[in-house]
Amino acid sequence: MISTLNHELLNSLDLKVLAVQRTEAGRWWNFKNVISPFSRLWLILDGRAVVRHHGRSFALRPGQWHLVPAFAVHDCACASRFNHYHLHFAARLPTGIDLFSLLDCEYQLPAPAAALTMFKRLEAIYPDRKLPCFDPRREEYKRFPVLTEPSESLAGAVDGFEARGVLTLLVSQFLKSARSHEGVHARVTRQFLAVQEFIHAHMRQKIALADLAKVVELNPTYFSDQFKRVVGVRPLDYLMRRRIERAQYLLLTSQASVKSIADAVGILDPAYFSRVFTRLSKTSPSEYRSAHSV
């Protein structure tokens, strides 16, 4: 069970359906080094495929469902045919961190009897949230659609409420086996949650070491040393990583310009933003947007 998250944090999750549809894949379903700031959930209906991530290889078979967490680098391949529902979703905490980047869990489980019904219901609520194609070389594949919630009518509000409930039920099946992931975000959340929340709320602004230290009422030098000891990186290095992670999210979920995204994450010099992004992501912002997709 989860030891680092409490009921308040789980109840504050921002759950969002990004894409949901049924797909009959073939040998073209063969992708390498895929990474996304969202999670993917596949419900296998028929056929066979293979996915590799977290140092493991998983055989995707009918009657199972499989979770690929946010930011998990993965390969996937199909030798013949692979009939499945796929759901791309975000499960973000108030701090802006995706829930599954904090956790390890059983990534493949027997699908419950109600799973197909739940996927179909999400598809009915969001009939337009589908990938335009599967070829990453095509322009329409590179552009992620601007998401809108159901209409503001009472019926639309009820549909949105139901969709969040259905997604909660799906996600909860994997949370039952969840355990803390010993990554940077997990250590920050456990020891410096207030700092994480401050970064999320003030990311567009200039943030100095003294600002972060003030949040936890510590001397800046002592705070920096303690942060480094617990997390493994200095506070300002962690802040920059969070800015770039947020930029990755915006690059794939909006059509905003690189300059606008740089401003949104608090880096006002576009050239400097591109240099830092390239250093941390091993690719330029425009190349990242072109190469990766939900």
pLDDT digits (tens, 9 = 90+) for 48-86: 999 999 889 999 999 999 999 887 878 999 999 999 999
pTM, 2 dp = 0.65
Are 70 and 39 within 8 A, CB to CB? yes
Q: Buried b vs exposed e over 59-83: b needs ≥16 C-beta within 10 Å? A: ebeeebbbbbbbbbebebbbeeebe
* pLDDT (tens digit per residue) in 99-147: 887 778 899 999 999 999 999 999 999 998 886 655 544 444 444 444 4
**Distant-in-sequence, close-in-space partners of 55: CB < 8 Å, separation ≥ 6:** none
Q: State which CATH number among 3.40.50.2000, 1.10.10.60, 2.60.40.10, 1.10.3720.10 fits the domain covering 184-291.
A: 1.10.10.60
**Nearest CA to 293 among 146, 150, 154, 131?**
131
> Which residues of the chain, if any, have pLDDT below 70?
1-9, 37, 94-97, 131-156, 180-191, 292-294
Pick among 2.30.42.10, 1.10.3720.10, 2.60.40.420, 2.60.120.280: CATH of 7-180: 2.60.120.280
Answer yes or no: are the C-beta atoms of 106 and 174 closer than 8 Å.
Answer: yes
Would you tell me the crossing angle of helices 220-231 and 235-253 to the nearest 10 degrees? 60
Calpha distance 89→98 (Å, rounded):
10
Q: What is the pLDDT of residue 201?
A: 81
Indicate the domain borders of the chain: 7-180, 184-291
Q: What is the pLDDT of residue 147?
A: 46
